Structure 1
């Protein structure tokens, strides 16, 4: 604003940090110190400067907007970045064949996708759920997409990766667990199109775009019972919801899907409908351009991306 004081400024706001009530204190096994709380609070300093300085702000989901100070939320429109639903679409009968992995003869494929293998995305809990699953389903294979690194949250103090830590802790039949690393979009798409069950676990944090892409591809998504997921998934309608901290419940719901594929077919259809109706790039991009035009013309508050508070709360399962 100092360089261009008369130019309208639209800022993108993804997350506002809290030491209490969201991601940081979500796991009771990881208590925060006063130093932790002070460090988390100071992270908001540049964000608050931007909130004050901008003419308007944009947040991708209602859950994420709800993390910002109430007195400033009315300065934020909500528009998702959008998912290319023409690209991420179902492929009935898809078989999974990657350069170094051929699961074309496998009838039960469970998938998990994350940038990193870390507690923020429920990686330890997912690995524990695989142990339950392998006891029950001798023909089930699990495909894990992502890098062996920490993108969010703390690393282990001894420098060990969460992948190595969990594989030492939980004995698995590794012939049926496939770590395929990060994949280019084309191969990643093949994984989720061939998925029989897709598991997405997250702390109350930024929603992963991969969950929306999986819905768009017609996946049966099992998601954690946390705010960002509840904004999108209604249990038994367009996906299934599980307790983040219960690997056994994750395995139970995977069993439920694999045992009743016909009964679950309608959920897959509604998953795709959710992506088309609420997150399609074809719908989101014109609204984003309209918002930019309104801000440029100083038409504020803009009409794009605003929603009544009661509808906002209901969108992620909160009553007011």
Structure 2
């Protein structure tokens, strides 16, 4: 069976990544691509690396006949998805890649994103899209809210440890680096080559990054009490990749065993041998996440490092993984491509 797919926001990085992945998917066909500012253009003109594909012309969202669509990916900007998704057919399966349905508490959404939640009733049915931990709910969901790319990386590094109660919940520090594509495709002065290249800087310092809302929500729910981590993101002058280095209080061997137990059957999570740390070079362009555990020189302290591609496992690959589950397709379909190297 071939499932008909629409992608809203196809002219952005995550939209293009969805097209790249779905292009070789044996059970999906892209029947509609929407991009408001680039409506009327061909995808090959927006993204020349996709020119070999036979794709629909970009249109405005209002021009799509959703009665012919089985599942819709929404790769739209934050604060836009709630309004757009609310107007889509009530029986349409949707995977949202924005932040608009990630936080279950509307007040938390307003706190972190600065505007009132405009689709509270829909929020009640949204399932958080961290596939490895919400697989059963995602299978039966109509609306899945994809995680933030930084939030996904940090959770892969910490969720099993919180669940297994093998680390001190009041002693968690996460130092995270992300490639520039994580900021989207819109023109921004601080992302110009001359502003970004040959430099490396922290941002949202002191606990202001929006993905902290996801960490607070998920970690506290697992622990059954409030958990707040120290988190500082850094912008790297690279196109893709996230590397999260987490400093925790706990025994390295016990921590490594907790990961083995949690991820033994997960096709996209690769746990490195104890003492090894991953690199963004080794997951580029793939749906894999690599995790390393290294004992610190200070007894009783451990360093956990997680690496993934922010556009693939952190966003569009995760979205396709969720869509496979929602459509009854084998979860790994279209996603087992090997990383690009070098």
TM > 0.5 fold call? no
For normalisation by structure 2, the TM-score amounts to 0.32
Higher helix content, 1 or 2: 1
So what's the TM-score if we normalise by structure 1? Answer: 0.34
